[in-house]
Amino acid sequence: MPDTFNLDAYFNRIGYGGSVKPDLDTLVALQARHVSTIPFEGLDPLLGRPVPLDLGSLQAKLVKSRRGGYCFEQNAIFNAALRAIGFATIGLGARVTVMSQPGAPLGPRGHMVLRVDLPEGPYIADVGFGAALQDAPLRLAPDLEQRTPFATYRLTELDGLYTLHVCTHDVWRAAFVFTLEPQLPADYEMANWFFATHPGGPFTRMIVMQILKGDARVSLVNTALSERRQDGRIIERRLASAAELGEVLDQVFDIEPPAPVEQVFAKIAPAVG
């Protein structure tokens, strides 16, 4: 597998033809294109397949194929693109809280986030948070509401622990918490192995997908397909068969699954009755 990053192939994958400078405008444009073309998905853990994080494997899957990935894959490939352009980046580790009750103990560092240092100051870039894909980089500045086309965000900080809050359709949620401690590749490898193999984790027992298409945030959780538009409209339906799942993977998420769609549907059918 090659260990160099093919920036032109990545630009072609996300349909990007703009500026190639390590500045804020380029970062904003790249993140918007990435989350609208490379879907968040965790089919490999669901099917018991390995999730390698080496650059060659990531390019083969996310750039050269009709596939997506989850946070460790998405933000690793985005980080490679940013560094190839000349951005100064640092990989961080976050603990997901979006499904936790207030005051619940924090879980493991199960999410990868990027810090990008720009002349305007530090920013957080994240193309791999499947619960609410982030359509724009955010200033690393506490207590500042930051609006994007798809959501409003706010960072808070207490004793060095940052919390990212996201508001969609007038509902605020604490998405994840993180510190500014740089993470090593080994940290991501260990977390990736845990979440790709743990039988009680979300990715080994359910489909979780999301992509931003036009003015809609499109999500699939098992057989529940939802389309949440920026104007507040919500369109929902249930997928009743493997054929419907295959159609959605192909036409909505532009994914060619790594196994027959009947096998994928069989994995989630018991969970949905």
Pairwise CA distance, residues 53 & 175, whole Å:
24
Q: Are 175 and 166 in contact (CB under 8 A)?
A: yes
- Distance of alpha carbon 170 from alpha carbon 144, whole angstroms: 17
Rounded CA gap, 19 and 25, in Å?
8
Which of 34, 44, 111, 135 is flagged as catalytic? Answer: 111
Q: Residue 126 in contact with residue 134, Cβ under 8 Å?
A: yes
Say if residue 87 is exposed, middle or buried (CB neighbours under 10 Å; 0-12, 13-18, 19+).
Answer: buried
Q: Is residue 167 annotated as part of the catalytic site, yes or no?
A: no
Q: Which two tokens stand for residue 13?
A: 């994958």
Where do the DSSP E strands lie in the chain?
88-96, 111-118, 121-125, 138-139, 146-147, 152-158, 161-168, 171-178, 208-213, 216-221, 224-229, 234-238
Q: Which of 34, 44, 126, 135 is catalytic?
A: 126
Active-site choice (71, 165, 187, 215): 71
Task: Write down the H helix ranges in 86-237.
Answer: 185-197
The catalytic residue positions are 71, 111, 126
